Amino acid sequence: MNDRRVVITGVGVLSPLGNDLQSTWEGLKAGKSGIGPITLTDPEPYACKIAGEVKGFDEAPWFSNPKDGRRCDRYAQFAVAASKMAIEDAGLDDDSIDRNRVGVMVGSGIGGLGTLEREHEKLIKRGAARVSPFVIPMMISNIGSGIISMEYGFGGPNMVIVTACATSNHNIGEAWRMIKFGDADAFVCGGAEATILPMGISGFSNMKALSTRNDDPQGASRPFDTGRDGFVMGEGAGVVVIEEYEHAKKRGATIYGELVGYGISGDAHHMTSPHPEGDGAARCMDMALKHAKMNPEDVTYVNAHGTSTPLGDVCETKAIKKSFGNHAKDNLIVSSTKSMTGHLLGAAGGVELAACLMAMKDGIVAPTINLENQDPECDLDYTANVAREVEVKAALSNSFGFGGHNSSLLVRKMD
């Protein structure tokens, strides 16, 4: 059964660069930064005062009943919006589809933090009776996936995996596995996040994870550069529709590419720091290549996790060299689109897979901006500052999460 091929037929994106796939991709190609001063909350108390915010978002048009949208946390609103984009792109909302064979796995690394903050403040200041009866369903990380299934009547497998910054990739990868196993014909899958909030900012800031280059927001996220001082928090959603190939072909769907490999591993090392030699990440990429029955030389491009943290960028570089061998230094093209979007946490992998698909479609690799003084320990080709025209036959996207959760997705052009 596991020889069933899986293809990607729809993409939906919300990011600091735009509220759809095309505007986000145009921004990435242009090397545009979506980072700016924080406006969603007062940044004054925090060491980090910058982030990548989704701008001008209105949840109402994305829900069949606007009241339902108001009863969702911002992360779930993002999840529903990006899913609707992907579903419409794929043409999946069709009466000919067996909706009991369509699953949903759209997760969140942190969930409804905004809801938790607001309702906790009510509890402390106004008493228990003032807490919303919707607080639990609004804040849990699985509710976005549940709401999407309700909106479209998708009765296939419905669940989410929560693995911090690896959330999107794990949800997409496990959905891929279920299609290959025959449990579904299609999935709406990916991730969403909205944590530019007092608790999110102070928590990451106090662990010294965030950049404090507040006077230069657009230059703050600088993966692989000697001047990097931490990541920049972002928000948004990245969702794809994946389908069994014959199912997609039968209904005439447009195909972005084939999802051929999925890697998963654990560092078993530290709560927040990656393995210093990149062992877990390398095993993860190796597994994706093995699933795809591809050699390292078959991969054109790696969209790196590349968060702009001093330790993480070095460890990922080591991992790429372990996994790709001589090809890593000779011909492999790498870039970190987080240099432009910031780190979308649980949504990062979905948005970055979209960047890989568009790179294959348009023959353009988005750059790593702000790479002015390359770290000698980061000695690969990171597509510094300017997009590159090149035929991308296959692309791998990495996402690594706190707890040592590693995930890699490998896509290639259709034969």
Domain boundaries, the chain: 1-402
What average pLDDT does range 151-178 have in this prediction? Answer: 97
Q: Which residue has the tokens 């949840």?
A: 59
Which of the residues 343, 356, 378, 405 is marked catalytic?
343
Helices (H), 1-49: 21-29
- In the three-class reduction of DSSP (H, G, I as helix; E, B as strand; rest coil), residue 105 is classed as strand
What average pLDDT does range 157-182 have in this prediction? Answer: 97
Q: Which residue has the tokens 């067996």?
A: 98
**Rounded to whole angstroms, how far apart are CA atoms 272 and 278?**
14
- The pLDDT, as a whole number, for residue 377 is 97
- The pLDDT, as a whole number, for residue 403 is 86
Residue 343 annotated to the active site: yes
**Rounded to whole angstroms, how far apart are CA atoms 209 and 4?**
41
Q: Dihedrals φ, ψ of 188, to 5°?
A: -100, 120
- Given CA atoms 140, 141, 145, 151 in this order, what sign does their dihedral have? positive
What average pLDDT does range 241-258 have in this prediction? Answer: 97
pLDDT above 80: residue 415: no
Q: Give the distance from CA 389 to its chain's centroid.
A: 23
Give the type of residue at 319. Answer: A
What average pLDDT does range 293-322 have in this prediction? Answer: 97
Each residue's pLDDT tens digit, 204-247: 999 999 999 999 999 999 999 999 999 999 999 999 999 999 99
Looking only at the bridges linking them, the beta strands covering 102-107 and 186-193 are parallel
What average pLDDT does range 181-204 have in this prediction? Answer: 97
Which of the residues 48, 165, 315, 378 is marked catalytic?
165
What is the fold, at CATH topology level, of the domain defined by 1-402? Peroxisomal Thiolase; Chain A, domain 1 (3.40.47)
Which is higher by pLDDT, 3 or 102? 102
Cβ atoms of 400 and 275 within 8 Å: the answer is no
Band of pLDDT at residue 267, cut at 50, 70 and 90: confident
What average pLDDT does range 121-126 have in this prediction? Answer: 95
Which is higher by pLDDT, 414 or 234? 234
For 189, the enclosing helix (H) or strand (E) is strand 186-193
- The pLDDT, as a whole number, for residue 274 is 84
- The pLDDT, as a whole number, for residue 114 is 95
Residue 165 annotated to the active site: yes
Q: In terms of pTM, does the model score above 0.85?
A: yes
pLDDT above 70: residue 49: yes
**Rounded to whole angstroms, how far apart are CA atoms 336 and 305?**
7
- The pLDDT, as a whole number, for residue 271 is 84
What average pLDDT does range 128-137 have in this prediction? Answer: 93
Question: Hey, what are 59's tokens?
Answer: 């949840």
Question: Hey, what are 255's tokens?
Answer: 């195909």
**Rounded to whole angstroms, how far apart are CA atoms 291 and 6?**
12
- In the three-class reduction of DSSP (H, G, I as helix; E, B as strand; rest coil), residue 242 is classed as strand
Cβ atoms of 320 and 288 within 8 Å: the answer is no
Each residue's pLDDT tens digit, 392-409: 999 999 999 988 899 999
pLDDT above 90: residue 1: no
Average pLDDT, the chain: 96
Question: Hey, what are 77's tokens?
Answer: 């609103």
Question: Hey, what are 380's tokens?
Answer: 């690969």
What's the CA angle centered on 150, arms 59 and 183, to 5 degrees?
125
Which of the residues 170, 247, 275, 305 is marked catalytic?
305
pLDDT above 90: residue 91: yes
- The pLDDT, as a whole number, for residue 273 is 84
